[in-house]
Amino acid sequence: MRITRQQQETLRMKWKQNPDGRTFIQFRRSVVPVLGWGRTTKMSLIKDRVPVMGCAPPIAVRWCSMWLCIEDDGYCHT
């Protein structure tokens, strides 16, 4: 899965904050895409999701018994 440079930097920072025995490559491979990403059209409300052109989807990773979401600009939240 392709991720942005900012997402990669945030992933590395989070990996360094919690050394759980996994290598960075193992941690990086545990990343999953966030489902349901995209903007909702007025007609479909929740049914259809349309990806926003030029934006990478957010990613999620399991970290310290919770899921972190990392946006395409590197912003991280639970």
**For 34-66, what is each residue's pLDDT tens digit?**
876 555 444 444 444 444 545 678 999 999 999
pTM of the model: 0.74
Sequence-ordered strand ranges (E) for the chain: 32-33, 39-40, 49-50, 59-63, 66-70, 76-77
- pLDDT > 90 in the chain, percent: 60
Task: Provide the residue type at 25 as one letter.
Answer: I
pLDDT of residue 40: 44
pLDDT at 16: 95
The better pLDDT of the pair 55, 26 is held by 26
| Cβ atoms of residues 12 and 58 within 8 Å | no
